[in-house]
Amino acid sequence: MLYLHGAIRAAAAAADGLCAVSAPTVENARMTELSPSDRLLASVDNALRTVFGSHRAARPMPRAAATAADAPGLSEPERALSAALMRVNHVGEVCAQALYDAQALTTRDPALKAQFAAAAREETDHLAWTEARLQELGGRPSWLNPLWYAGAFGIGLLAGRAGDATSLGFVVETERQVEQHLASHLDRLPAADAASRAIVAQMRDDEARHAQHAEQAGAAPLPAPARWLMRGVAGVMTVTAHRL
């Protein structure tokens, strides 16, 4: 199976001492070539890569290369705040991988699969950027990332099972809420933390484009109760990930 071949290649790469893991969404582009069992195994593989792997972005981080020592203007409280906010954003990107993988798994439309996979690749950039910035700030990812991924994957499956229009509507609402969330982080991040602010600003622009593409693909508006529920779940995740 393709999954086994991929696992062997990953093990070989690890043996060679490579510390970065391939983007967790690479297998999504091959979903139409896989049997149902292989598609399930590929999703498990993506989950493990997302939650436990390190990630490499296809696009450069939206700022000059820097380390934590290059931000001398940040006080310790400011650095702690930036790290907490970037941990929340990292959790959001873990969830994005789960959502897009689940939605690509459920749709039967090859064009829509490709659209979900393309969006997920950009989300992998976000995952790598937030991961790198957390390290620079001396922060850490959320301890609950496996739980966040599992929950988001389940929600993505439900959205996908409801039909492509609803699934796309879910993307639109999710990305709009994320865009607002990132805008609020730009207001909260310390003014001196130009590195984190540049990353968040690019992420916000990407999320807005994902929502636009989903609308153009035929998204159906979600009912108000569903939007309120999504906001409530996102709020719980944000508050929890800020500390854990």
Q: What is the mean pLDDT of the segment spanning 81-97?
A: 94
Residue-range domains of the chain with CATH: 2-243 (1.20.1260.10)
pLDDT digits (tens, 9 = 90+) for 148-179: 999 999 999 999 999 999 999 999 999 999 99
Determine the average pLDDT of the residues in 136-142: 93
Q: Which of 152, 130, 148 is closest to 240 using CA atoms?
A: 148
Task: Write down the mean pLDDT value for the chain.
Answer: 82
Q: What digits encode the pLDDT tens for the residues 19-75?
A: 333 344 434 444 445 666 777 787 788 788 888 888 888 899 887 444 444 455 789
Distance CA 210, CA 218 (A): 13
Percent of the chain topping pLDDT 70:
82
pLDDT digits over 195-225, tens only?
999 999 999 999 999 999 999 999 999 999 8
What is the rounded CA–CA span in Å between residue 113 and residue 121?
12
Sign of the alpha-carbon torsion through 179, 50, 121, 43: negative
**Higher-scoring residue by pLDDT: 235, 43:** 235
pLDDT given at position 159: 92
Contact yes or no for 216/169 (Cβ under 8 A): no
Q: Where are the beta strands (DSSP E) in the chain?
A: none
Q: Given this model, what pLDDT does residue 36 score?
A: 66
User: What's the rounded Cα separation, in Å, for the pair 172 and 230?
Assistant: 12
The residue among 29 and 188 whose pLDDT is bigger is 188
The reported pLDDT for the residue numbered 34 is 64
